[in-house]
Amino acid sequence: MIKPLTVELGDRSYPIHFSNSLEALRTDIRALRASGKSLRTLADKGALQAQPDYLTRAGFTEDEILVLPAGEPTKSLQYLGEALSFLAQGALNRDSSVFAFGGGVTGDLAGYTAASYLRGIDFYQIPTTLLSMVDSSVGGKTGINLPEGKNLVGAFWQPQAVYIETALLQTLSPREFAAGMAEVIKYGMLADLSLFEELEDLEQLDAHSDALSGIVRQCCALKARIVAEDEKETASSGGRALLNLGHTFAHAIENVAGYGDYLHGEAVAIGLKMAAQLSVELSQIDASTIQRVEAILAKFALPVALKSPLPVEALVQAMTKDKKNRSGKIRFVSMQALGKAVTTEGIETKLIEQILIDGGANR
């Protein structure tokens, strides 16, 4: 039995359910209906195909569900428009609620749809991928991509509750599960050495592993603490920005390669290796740490370098649009030690270019 967790945000605090999450979802849906609220769900097509009766068992009807294509391209203005129209066609008012059923793409889009419709209505997260369970469903970052960059349009809009059922991961593809492990590894690297070492020691970890539920909760607890301290990423250093370890590199890779060429977690894995290399070049950690990072990424079937070359100039240009940047300077997250991340600015472009080239980019 995994105990629920609360994201502490004052009057906007909310629970994350783990064990018996479907029953918690049913209970909340019954309560919402009893109070006369209208409900709608944005659902990932792949998640629905893998779990065809989950939403009906929870209490939703077919006409309350909008099915969205799987994949990163769905986080777009096109599908934001479709989602908003879906709510408007149902004449939903301000006391209505939106549920997200899917991975990070669906959750980000549903959250931004809820934040935008009638200037903001409630939404709930039902994550179906490992990546969304440990990361994107918690913390209230919502948004969509533009051709110019990832997550450039969005809002901080906290969910009312998150329902995590790790049994859903048993229908997830090995590639998608591995992508989620990149975010799990990230938490160990930035804030929890014991988690990193636990992952090193495990013989294996998959959707059937007894250890999985506890590891998922551990990641959620780390994120909940950081979000409670710096909800809107306004800290001048450290704070919520630390959750983006490896992501400055990763978002640039996704943008230049074209959204969908890499799964988000695959790009993050490459970014984590690059962040480790950056930390070594800045004399923050020992070079042997890179080998540990590479080994754990490889252990969980994640890439450590680009699968085909991307132009360095385009990658650096994409980094200039990163949301963490301040005063026109690219801001990176590096490590003072495994389990202790910091934000770092003022890094020479030549150093970043060399790290990118070492990771498979070209001039």
With CA atoms as reference, report the closest residue to 124 among 217, 18, 7, 42: 42
Ordered strands of the 97-102 beta sheet: 5-7, 14-17, 162-163, 122-127, 97-102, 39-44, 65-68
Angle between helices 174-191 and 212-229 (to 10 degrees): 50
Q: Which of 186, 251, 323, 324 is catalytic?
A: 251
CA atoms of 306 and 160, how far apart (whole Å): 38
Pairing of strands 97-102, 39-44: parallel
Coil, strand, or helix at residue 227? helix
Catalytic pick from 244, 266, 324, 331? 244
Q: What is the DSSP letter of 232?
A: T
Catalytic residue among 75, 223, 273, 324: 223
Q: Is 26 a catalytic residue?
A: no
Q: Is 335 helix (H, G, I), strand (E, B) or coil?
A: strand
Active-site annotation holds for 340: no
Q: Which of 165, 176, 231, 233 is catalytic?
A: 233
The DSSP secondary structure of 111-140, one letter per residue, reads HHHHHHGGG--EEEEEE-SHHIIIIITSS-
Q: Please check whether residue 204 is in contact with residue 181, taking contact to mean a CB–CB distance below 8 angstroms.
A: no
How would you classify residue 151: left for phi > 0, otherwise alpha for psi between -120 and 50, otherwise beta?
Answer: left
**Active-site residue 233, yes or no?**
yes
Task: Identify the active-site residue in 3, 62, 119, 350.
Answer: 119
Take residue 274 and report the two structure tokens written for it.
């690059």
Catalytic-residue membership of 17: no
Beta-bridge partner residues of 102: 127
**How long a stretch of residues is the chain?**
363
Q: Is 251 among the catalytic positions?
A: yes
What are 44's strand-pairing partners?
Answer: 68
Q: Is 223 a catalytic residue?
A: yes
- DSSP, collapsed to helix, strand or coil, labels residue 66 as strand
Choosing from 183, 231, 254, 266, which is the catalytic residue? 183
Of 240, 273, 324, 331, the active-site residue reads 240
Handedness of CA 141, 339, 294, 209 (dihedral sign): negative
The pair of structure tokens assigned to 116 is 């935008």
- Residue 244 token pair: 């983006």
- Using alpha carbons, select from 214, 147, 150, 188 the residue that is nearest to residue 275: 188
Is there a catalytic annotation at residue 183?
A: yes
> Any catalytic annotation for residue 37?
no
Measuring CA to CA, which residue among 172, 1, 20 is closest to residue 102? 172
Of 40, 186, 247, 324, the active-site residue reads 247
Determine which one of 141, 273, 323, 331 is catalytic: 141
Active-site residue identified among 264, 273, 323, 331: 264
Which residues are annotated as catalytic? 119, 141, 183, 223, 233, 240, 244, 247, 251, 264
